[in-house]
Amino acid sequence: MKNVLFIAPPAGGKGTISEKLVAEFGYEHISTGDLLREIDKTTPLGKEVDDRLKMGKLIDDDLVLKLLKEKLETLEGKPFILDGCPRNLAQAQKCDELFAEMGLSLDVVIELKVPYDVVLNRAIGRITCPKCKSIYNTVTKKPRNLGICDSCGENLIHRSDDNEETFRTRYDAFVEVTEPIADFYKDRGIYEAIDGLHDVYEETVSVLRK
Ligand SMILES: [Zn+2]
């Protein structure tokens, strides 16, 4: 199986896909968030990162890359999923150098293309009953019948609330940092886009097997 970097907007579904790939094909899922949470504080590198986190300082690209390198050294030939790193052009270039140095390769970069409205609704999929004020979520707390209130049978409505603004900010940040990375891998000829509304998992597996 190919080593892969996923690019997907917040609520774009890469977490679910990654979980399945780990379970089905023995992938190692390497996320920057996990690397930072699972640091070994007994090593000089772990201690440095821990100190910076405690002081609220930025974890710069070099430190992220060092953590990534440590993780990659433990893989023993397992295929890997990169998640959240590289997240800017500089990191992407440094990752390339790191892989070359370690005799590894990033084989494919898959972008899950999911329309803004869809990820927005997943993220803030709140639906409410205008009559009895019951609250549901289209993802996490579905009513028994689609669009109908369990308690009183009224048609449920989706209303925008201030979470949308927060989501928009996250989404815009994603687009801003992602475009240069996608272009970088397009130039390298390893970029693939998958329509995030179709059977994303099956398509992903077929790309990873090619
Ligand atoms: Zn109701």
Task: Specify the pLDDT at position 40.
Answer: 85
The mean pLDDT of 64-86, rounded to a whole number, is 91
- 122 classed as catalytic: no
Task: Specify the pLDDT at position 71.
Answer: 92
The mean pLDDT of 143-155, rounded to a whole number, is 94
Domain assignment present for 124: no
Which of 144, 159, 209, 210 is catalytic? The answer is 159
Q: Which residues contact 64 (CB under 8 A, 6 or more apart)?
A: 32, 35, 85, 91
Burial 15-52 (b: 16+ CB within 10 A, else e): eebbeebeeeeebbbbbbeebbeebeeeeeeeeebeee
Look-up of token digits 């409205």: 117
* Closest C-alpha among 29, 115, 123 to residue 75: 29
CB count within 10 Å of CB 112 equals 21
The mean pLDDT of 116-120, rounded to a whole number, is 87
pLDDT at 112 over 80: yes
Domain assignment present for 201: yes
For residue 159, what pLDDT band results from cuts at 50, 70 and 90? Answer: low
pLDDT at 179 over 90: no
pLDDT at 164 over 90: no
pLDDT in tens, 22-61: 999 999 999 888 888 888 888 888 999 889 988 888 888 8
The mean pLDDT of 97-102, rounded to a whole number, is 94
Q: Which residues contact 177 (CB under 8 A, 6 or more apart)?
A: 87, 88
- 168 classed as catalytic: no
Do β-strands 191-195 and 157-158 pair in parallel, antiparallel, or remain unpaired? unpaired
pLDDT at 186 over 70: yes
Count of domains observed in the chain: 1
Report the CATH number at residue 194. Answer: 3.40.50.300
- 87 classed as catalytic: yes
Q: For the residues of 53-99, what is the DSSP string, one character each?
A: HHTT----HHHHHHHHHHHHTT-TT--EEEES-S-SHHHHHHHHHHH
Stated as kind and residue range, the H or E segment containing 149 is none
d(CA 200, CA 40): 35
d(CA 210, CA 196): 19
Task: Specify the pLDDT at position 152.
Answer: 96
Task: Specify the pLDDT at position 104.
Answer: 94
* Closest C-alpha among 101, 84, 102 to residue 7: 84
144 CA distance to ligand 1 centroid (A)?
12
164 CA distance to ligand 1 centroid (A)?
23
Domain assignment present for 25: yes
pLDDT at 97 over 70: yes
pLDDT at 168 over 70: yes
153 CA distance to ligand 1 centroid (A)?
6
Domain assignment present for 163: no
Domain assignment present for 132: no
Task: Specify the pLDDT at position 160.
Answer: 58
Task: Specify the pLDDT at position 161.
Answer: 54
The domain of 179 spans: 4-115+173-209
Asked if 150 and 44 count as a contact pair (C-beta separation under 8 A), the reply is: no
